[in-house]
Amino acid sequence: EGSRFAGTSFNEAWLVSCFAIGQVLGPLISGCFMDTLGRKPTTFLIILFMVISCSMLAIASTVEILYLARIIGGFSFGMSVSVLPVYVAELSDPAVRGTLNSFPLASRSLGYFLMYAVGPIVSYTNLILVTIVAPVIALLLIFLLPESPYHLFAKGKSESAQQTVTWLRRGAAKEAIQAEVDSIQKAVEELKANKKSFRNLFSTRANIRALCISCGLLFFLQMSGIPLIMSITESLFILARVNISTKVCTLVFGGLMLTVGLVGPAVTRRFGFKTPLLISAFGMCLSLSVFGGHFYMISLGHDMSAYSLVPLLSLVAYISFFSLGFSNSAFAVVGELFAPNIKALGTSLTNSIGFACGLLSIQLYYVIKSTLGIHFGIWTFALTNALAVPFTFFFVPNTSGMSLQEIQEMLSKPWFDKKNKVVPLEEKYTMREVCYI
């Protein structure tokens, strides 16, 4: 049944890229939806687009419809990574916010594992019908969730906002609940006092630093090779000449991704975001270096049959390290860094830039593959992961367990200036000074 979509290498490249194109577009729209419709209705639209994408995949009879379905699916995912971390951050207690923002990783891992497990034993259409079950259920359950109290205060619905906070923090002391209500109301009032504009992204030290860190994190995430590897996993095992059935390889690959994804929230709760990100980048670099080395030896004409497990082990290690840190922590950190008055604009812009890098990485791989070989394409991703280590170590803060206000205060504090003088928290900067900061 899948043979109706068989095509050339060009078609494969663009089939993979279509999802990335949708991802670039999604965040650009999500910010407007979050502010006008609210977090909850926007989440509903995200799920609805996913249902539409799955439905189109099930009935697709031409590759053009398949392309469009992939774009819509990418559009839904692009919106989700901008909206859901913000929605979760505004609903959850700071003590568990990081853990909750790690659960989407486990959900995605379960989805991939399900595809790897069920795919070989059912038809293409039935596989799509299996995938549509979860979003349909989510479409019904979304009505049980409350709207963000931040959005309710912003729309003048103070009573509903207080009721939402009381319901979310039921069991907590009344004084603590009231303190949180006052804190949210104060944050929203400050948001209204600051007019939203693109220039606000560069108006304070905290905003500039949040933008730079977010763009850097998502650049390294998308250039880590994950957009490509998750799309052509089975093809990579075939090209690597693994002696074990590729279906078994992908099942092991998905199983490790699921296992690490399930322990990810516990790791985040124990160590915060920064340590898992560092381990993740370093581990992915080593794994892809070995994986690329295997292809290099094949290109030299060496018989690698005795080492056929190397590509399987290296890719399993790669996805394990990715699931441990960058898979979800990068998006979670981005969702927490921006101030309320630029959160929607900041997350939308940085996510679109990140997904554009993902699209670039896919096209870059196919160009390098056709000119220099697969091994150079894989090593390019390994080099990017190596550069992610010093970036994370020196520039990425550990925001887990901090309130949104504490995060902004931390970002406002200068590392140092040219004369080692303390810079005022609210000092404004011109574009000429941005590079120095």
Confidence bin at 415 (pLDDT 50/70/90): low
Least confident span in 91-100, 108-117, 149-158, 302-311: 91-100
Q: Give the pLDDT score at 326.
A: 86
Q: Give the pLDDT score at 314.
A: 92
The string of pLDDT tens digits covering residues 380-406 is: 999 999 999 999 998 888 877 777 777
152: DSSP letter: H
Q: Quick one: which of 237, 264, 259, 218 has its CA closest to 100?
A: 264
76 or 436, which is more confident: 76
DSSP codes joined into one string, 50-90: HHHHHHHHHH--SHHHHHHHHHHHHHHHHHHHHHHHHHHHH
Q: Quick one: which of 179, 185, 181 has its CA closest to 154?
A: 185
Work out the mean pLDDT of the chain and round it to a whole number.
82
Integer angstrom CA distances of residue 108 from 186, 255, 323, 363: 36, 12, 10, 24
Query: Quick one: CA dihedral 395, 400, 404, 406, positive or negative?
Result: negative
Q: Is the pLDDT of residue 428 over 60?
A: no
Kindly report the pTM of this predicted structure: 0.74
- Dihedral angle at the C-alpha atoms of 425, 427, 430, 433, nearest 10 degrees? -60
Domain boundaries, the chain: 2-145+194-434, 154-193
Q: What is the CA radius of gyration of the chain?
A: 22
Least confident span in 9-13, 98-102, 298-302, 353-357: 9-13
The residues, any chain, with a CB within 8 Å of residue 122's CB and separated by 6 or more, are 130
Q: Is the pLDDT of residue 252 over 90?
A: no
Q: Quick one: which of 401, 402, 388 has its CA closest to 278?
A: 388
Output b/e per residue, 168-180; b: 16+ Cβ within 10 A. beeeeeeeebeeb
């900061």: which residue's tokens? 437
Q: Give the pLDDT score at 416.
A: 55
CATH class of 2-145+194-434: mainly alpha
Distance CA 404, CA 88 (A): 12
Distance CA 246, CA 238 (A): 7
Integer angstrom CA distances of residue 44 from 39, 49, 133, 190: 9, 9, 15, 28
With a pLDDT cut of 90, the percent of the chain lying above it is 22
Confidence bin at 436 (pLDDT 50/70/90): very low
DSSP codes joined into one string, 385-417: HHHHHHHHHHH----TT--HHHHHHHHHS-S--
Distance CA 363, CA 378 (A): 13
Confidence bin at 433 (pLDDT 50/70/90): very low
Q: Is the pLDDT of residue 33 over 70?
A: yes
Beta carbons of 362 and 17 less than 8 angstroms apart: yes
231: DSSP letter: H
The string of pLDDT tens digits covering residues 117-162 is: 888 788 888 888 888 998 999 999 999 999 988 889 888 888 898 8
Q: Give the pLDDT score at 5.
A: 53
Mean pLDDT of 328-356: 81
Q: Is the pLDDT of residue 430 over 50?
A: no
Instruction: State the burial class of residue 165 (Cβ atoms within 10 Å of its Cβ: 0-12, 13-18, 19+).
Output: buried
Q: Give the pLDDT score at 425.
A: 36
Least confident span in 141-150, 262-271, 356-365: 262-271
Least confident span in 130-134, 325-329, 383-387, 420-424: 420-424
DSSP codes joined into one string, 289-338: HHHHHHHHHHHTT---GGGTHHHHHHHHHHHHHHHHTHHHHHHHHHHHHS
Q: Is the pLDDT of residue 437 over 60?
A: no
Distance CA 80, CA 181 (A): 26
Mean pLDDT of 39-57: 93
Q: Is the pLDDT of residue 421 over 50?
A: no
